[in-house]
C-alpha cells in the first residue's frame, strides 16, 4: 500500500482547519514501524521531529489498562462485570481482593494527577454551561462527531461493529448523554455522573478494540484500532472543532474561560486513558489546532465508511432536537443549512450535504446570539442565571433520556446513587 504524499497531508489538514504542531510530553519508546495507511511517516517526522515520532509510537498503542481488563473478564465469569462496575461507581476500596487488571485500572483512574485543582471540576463546566444547550447540540452532531467520523481509521472500527449506521440516532443521543454528564459541575469527581460515565465509555472502547482485533484488523497498515492517536483526535473534536463551530453560531469564550475548559478536559483525557503527552500544556484553541494538524496528518481523506457515517449523522441530527421535548424542534432543512454554516461549503459538498436557502439567515441569527451572549457576560447576575438555567435544563434533559449503551453494554449500573453522583467515594479525597 503506497504512502500518502505530502500534498495530501497538506490538503487534509486544510480541509479540517489544521495548523502547525504542538510540543508533546514523554512517552514510552516503542520499536515500531509507521503504519502504511496512517500517513507518510518519514515526512511527518521530518516536519514535526520528536513530536511526530511520539505520534508514530502512539499509533501502535491502545489503552493497556482497559485492554487488560477486557482480557481478564472472561476468566471471571458473571462476577467480573459486577466487580468492575461496582469499583467504577464506588471505588477500588469497595472491592474485596479485586482481580489484578481491574485493580490496576481503578487505581490509575482514582489517582488524582498533581495538576488537578478544585477549579478542574467546575471551570470547564461553567464555560460549557454559559452557552445554550441547543447550540451545543448543533455543534456536537454537525461538527464534533462528523469530524470524528471523517477519519477512515475510526470509521472502519465503528462500521465494523455492525451497529453505528443502523443506530445513528442512538449513538448521537448516547454521546450527548455522556457529554452532559461530564459537563455538570463537580460530576467528574470520583463517583460522580461524569466520572462513572467516562470510565464506562472507556471500557466500551476497549471492548470495541478487542472485537476489532479478533476480526483480523490490519495492525501493520492501520495501527492499533481506536488507539491513542484516534482517542486524542476524538478529544480534540470536543474542543477546537466544537468551539470553532460555536463561534460561527455567535458564542465566543474569553481566554480564561477557554483555559478553564481545557484544564477540565485534561482530566477527562486522564479518565479516558489518553496519554498525557497529547494534552498536558494545551490551554487554548490555537495550540489544540496545532496538535490536531499533526494528528490529522495520520489520516487519509474520508472514505466510503466516513461518508456513510457523516451522512447518517446529519440525517439524524434533527431527531436529537425532537427527542424529549426539551430542545426546540429543528427542521432537516435547518440542519443542512447549519452543517454548511459551521463547516463551510467545501466540506459540505464533499459529504454531499445539499445547499439550503436557510443558510442565508444563519449569519444574522449568529450576530444576534453573539450580541445577547456578550450582554449577559457584561452583567454578572445575568451570566450566573444563564449558567444555572443551562445546568437545570441539562439535568432535565438527562432525566428523560433512555439508558445508554455504554452503561448496558459494559455491564454498568444505572442504580440510584451511582448514576446520580451520590455514590460513596473511597480512598484519598480529591482536590
**250-272: pLDDT as tens digits:** 999 999 999 999 999 999 999 99
What proportion of the chain, given as a percentage, has pLDDT over 70? 84
The reply to whether 80 and 215 lie within a common domain is: no
Range among 67-71, 152-156, 163-167 with highest mean pLDDT value: 67-71
347 and 382 both lie in a single domain: yes
Q: Which residue has the higher pLDDT, 17 or 388?
A: 388
CA separation for the pair 161, 102 (Å, rounded): 25
- Are both 249 and 367 inside the same structural domain? yes
Distance of alpha carbon 360 from alpha carbon 366, whole angstroms: 11
Rounded to 5, what percent of the chain is helix, strand, coil?
A: 65, 0, 35
Residues 249, 156, single domain; the answer is yes
Same domain, 154 and 103: no
Question: Which among 330, 16, 332 has a CA at the least distance from the CA of 149?
Answer: 16
Pair 276, 216 in one domain: yes
Structural domain includes residue 51: no
pTM score, whole prediction: 0.87
Pick 291 or 163 by higher pLDDT. 291
Highest mean pLDDT among 169-173, 199-203, 357-361: 199-203
Assigned domain for 19 exists: no
User: Given its phi and psi angles, is residue 304 left (phi above 0), alpha (psi -120 to 50 degrees) or beta?
Assistant: alpha
Examine residue 4 and state whether it is found in any structural domain, yes or no.
Answer: no
Say what the pLDDT of residue 224 is.
96
User: Within this chain, do residues 359 and 268 fall inside the same structural domain, yes or no?
Assistant: yes
Reply yes or no on whether the pLDDT at 7 is more than 50: no
Q: Is 174's pLDDT higher than 80? A: yes
For residue 215, give every residue at least 6 positions away whose Cβ sits within 8 Å of its Cβ, in sequence order, or none: 160
Q: Which domain, by its residues, includes 203? A: 116-408
pLDDT at 410: 53
Measured between alpha carbons, how far apart are the two ends of the chain, in Å? 50
pLDDT at 160 over 80: no
- Distance separating alpha carbons of residues 22 and 24, to the nearest angstrom: 6
**Is residue 115 classed as helix, strand or coil in its secondary structure?**
coil
Distance of alpha carbon 87 from alpha carbon 426, whole angstroms: 10
User: Considering the domain boundaries, does residue 3 fall inside one?
Assistant: no
Residues 387 and 299 in one domain: yes
- Number of Cβ within 10 Å of residue 64's Cβ equals 16
Residue 299 confidence class, pLDDT cut points 50, 70, 90:
very high
Instruction: Report residue 187: phi and psi, to 5°.
Output: -75, -10
Worst-scoring range by mean pLDDT, 13-22, 55-64, 158-167? 13-22
Residue 182 has pLDDT above 60, yes or no: yes
Is there a domain that residue 165 lies in? yes
Boundary of a domain, candidates 90, 111, 132? 111
In this structure, the answer to whether residues 85 and 182 fall within a common structural domain is: no
Structural domain includes residue 159? yes
Q: Are residues 125 and 261 in the same domain?
A: yes
If you average pLDDT over residues 48-61, what whole number do you get? 96
pLDDT value of position 142 = 95
Residues 80, 146, single domain; the answer is no
Residue 34, domain member (yes or no): no
Query: Can you tell me the mean pLDDT for 1-16?
Result: 36
End position of a domain, from candidates 76, 95, 111:
111
Domain assignment of residue 419, yes or no: no
Q: What is the number of structural domains in the chain?
A: 2
Distances (CA, A) of 410 to 44, 188, 224, 263, 405: 37, 19, 21, 28, 8
Same domain, 271 and 142: yes
- Per-residue pLDDT, averaged over 383-409, amounts to 84
Amino acid at each position: 500500500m503506497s504512502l500518502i504524499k505530502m500534498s495530501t497531508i497538506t490538503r487534509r489538514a486544510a480541509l479540517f482547519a489544521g495548523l502547525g504542531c504542538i510540543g508533546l510530553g514523554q512517552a514510552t519508546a516503542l520499536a515500531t514501524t509507521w503504519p502504511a495507511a496512517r500517513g507518510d511517516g518519514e515526512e511527518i517526522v521530518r516536519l514535526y521531529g520528536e513530536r511526530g515520532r511520539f505520534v508514530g509510537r502512539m499509533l501502535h498503542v491502545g489503552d493497556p489498562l482497559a485492554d487488560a481488563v477486557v482480557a481478564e473478564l472472561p476468566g471471571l465469569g458473571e462476577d467480573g462485570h459486577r466487580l468492575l462496575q461496582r469499583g467504577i461507581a464506588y471505588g477500588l476500596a469497595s472491592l474485596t481482593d479485586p482481580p489484578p487488571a481491574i485493580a490496576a485500572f481503578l487505581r490509575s483512574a482514582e489517582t488524582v494527577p498533581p495538576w488537578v485543582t478544585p477549579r478542574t471540576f467546575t471551570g470547564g463546566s461553567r464555560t460549557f454551561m454559559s452557552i445554550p444547550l441547543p447550540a451545543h447540540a448543533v455543534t456536537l452532531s454537525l461538527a464534533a462527531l462528523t469530524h470524528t467520523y471523517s477519519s477512515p481509521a475510526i470509521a472502519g472500527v465503528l462500521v465494523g461493529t455492525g451497529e453505528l449506521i443502523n443506530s445513528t440516532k442512538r449513538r448521537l443521543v448516547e454521546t450527548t448523554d455522556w457529554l452532559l454528564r461530564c459537563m455538570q459541575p463537580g460530576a467528574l469527581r470520583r463517583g460522580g455522573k461524569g466520572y462513572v460515565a467516562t470510565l464506562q465509555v472507556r471500557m466500551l472502547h476497549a471492548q470495541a478494540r478487542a472485537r476489532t482485533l479478533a476480526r483480523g484488523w490490519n495492525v501493520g497498515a492501520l495501527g492499533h484500532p481506536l488507539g491513542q492517536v484516534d482517542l486524542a483526535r476524538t478529544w480534540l473534536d470536543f474542543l477546537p472543532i466544537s468551539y470553532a463551530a460555536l463561534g460561527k453560531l455567535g458564542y465566543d469564550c474569553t481566554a480564561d474561560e477557554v483555559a478553564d475548559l481545557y484544564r477540565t478536559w485534561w482530566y477527562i483525557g486522564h479518565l479516558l486513558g489518553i496519554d498525557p503527552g497529547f494534552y498536558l500544556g494545551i490551554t487554548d484553541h490555537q495550540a489544540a489546532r496545532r496538535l490536531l494538524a499533526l494528528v490529522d496528518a495520520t489520516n487519509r481523506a474520508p472514505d466510503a465508511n466516513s461518508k456513510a457515517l457523516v451522512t447518517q449523522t446529519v440525517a439524524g441530527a434533527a431527531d436529537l432536537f425532537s427527542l424529549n421535548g426539551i430542545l426546540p424542534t429543528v427542521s432537516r432543512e435547518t440542519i443542512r443549512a447549519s452543517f454548511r454554516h459551521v463547516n463551510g461549503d467545501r466540506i459540505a459538498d464533499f459529504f454531499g450535504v445539499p445547499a439550503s436557502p436557510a443558510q442565508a439567515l444563519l449569519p444574522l441569527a449568529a450576530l444576534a446570539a453573539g450580541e445577547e451572549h456578550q450582554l449577559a457576560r457584561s452583567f454578572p447576575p445575568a451570566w450566573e442565571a444563564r449558567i444555572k438555567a443551562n445546568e437545570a435544563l441539562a439535568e432535565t434533559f438527562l432525566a428523560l433520556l433512555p439508558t445508554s449503551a455504554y452503561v448496558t453494554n459494559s455491564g454498568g449500573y444505572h442504580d440510584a446513587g451511582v448514576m446520580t453522583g451520590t455514590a460513596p467515594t473511597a480512598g484519598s479525597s480529591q482536590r
